[in-house]
């Protein structure tokens, strides 16, 4: 997936660019039904300590406050805001707070499996995060692997309850 890198502002790092692929053994609708319940992410996604939606539905303009604890214990606090929502294929969002930039998740179904591509390009003004840049890829990979494993376990548990 292509994108335009985030342009750093004064005092910010150069962009961190992460492109991840997940495979979920479920149809895209079932995967989307879990991903759109942002408030439940911490229940199945280790490393996400808090995800608090602002509003009840996932639509353009909806926001959520996210708290991630990196594998080294560094907390990241940021807000994501939906820029485009095309259920169950795509959500793009902006981020601001400890991380500033853009993200896109695309879901593509093939034979009852769903491929999820997560593209994340952010920058930060936090000095402690900038200093950890050499470890950022590893820390991001650990959190994302935990998310993929957690999503698989959540899907195996059955459909979300209304």
And the tokens for 102? 């853009």
Per-residue pLDDT of the chain (162 residues; tens, 9 = 90+): 667 789 999 999 999 999 999 999 999 999 999 999 999 999 999 999 999 999 888 999 999 999 999 999 999 999 999 999 999 999 999 999 999 999 999 999 999 899 999 999 999 999 999 999 999 999 999 999 999 999 999 999 987 776
And the tokens for 157? 């548990």
The SS3 call for residue 131 is helix
Rounded Cα–Cα distance for residues 29 and 62 (Å): 20
Name the average pLDDT for the chain. Answer: 94
In the chain, what are the domain boundaries?
16-156
CB count within 10 Å of CB 81 equals: 15
Alpha carbon separation from 117 to 64, 89, 105, 106, 112 (Å, rounded): 20, 10, 6, 5, 16
> Roughly what angle, to the nearest 10 degrees, separates helices 133-156 and 28-35?
120
CATH assignment, 16-156: 3.30.530.20
pLDDT computed for residue 1 by the predictor: 62
Q: For the chain, what is the radius of gyration of the CA atoms?
A: 15
In 3D space, the residue among 108, 58, 116 whose CA is nearest the CA of residue 85 turns out to be 58
Model confidence pTM above 0.85: yes
CA dihedral 22, 28, 29, 33 (to 10 degrees): 10
pLDDT digits (tens, 9 = 90+) for 126-159: 999 999 999 999 999 999 999 999 999 999 998 7
């Amino acid at each position: 997936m292509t994108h335009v890198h985030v342009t750093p502002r004064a005092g910010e790092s150069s962009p961190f660019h992460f492109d991840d692929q997940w495979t979920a053994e479920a149809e895209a609708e079932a995967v989307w039904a879990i991903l759109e319940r942002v408030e439940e992410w911490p229940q199945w996604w280790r490393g996400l300590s808090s995800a608090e939606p602002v509003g009840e539905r996932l639509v353009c303009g909806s926001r959520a406050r996210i708290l991630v604890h990196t594998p080294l214990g560094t907390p990241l606090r940021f807000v994501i805001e939906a820029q485009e929502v095309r259920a169950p294929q795509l959500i793009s969002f902006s981020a601001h707070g400890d991380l500033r930039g853009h993200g896109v998740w695309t879901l593509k179904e093939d034979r009852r499996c769903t491929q999820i591509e997560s593209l994340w390009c952010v920058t930060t003004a936090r000095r402690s995060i900038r200093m950890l840049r050499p470890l950022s890829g590893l820390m991001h990979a650990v959190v994302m692997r935990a998310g993929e494993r957690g999503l698989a376990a959540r899907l195996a548990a059955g459909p979300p309850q209304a």
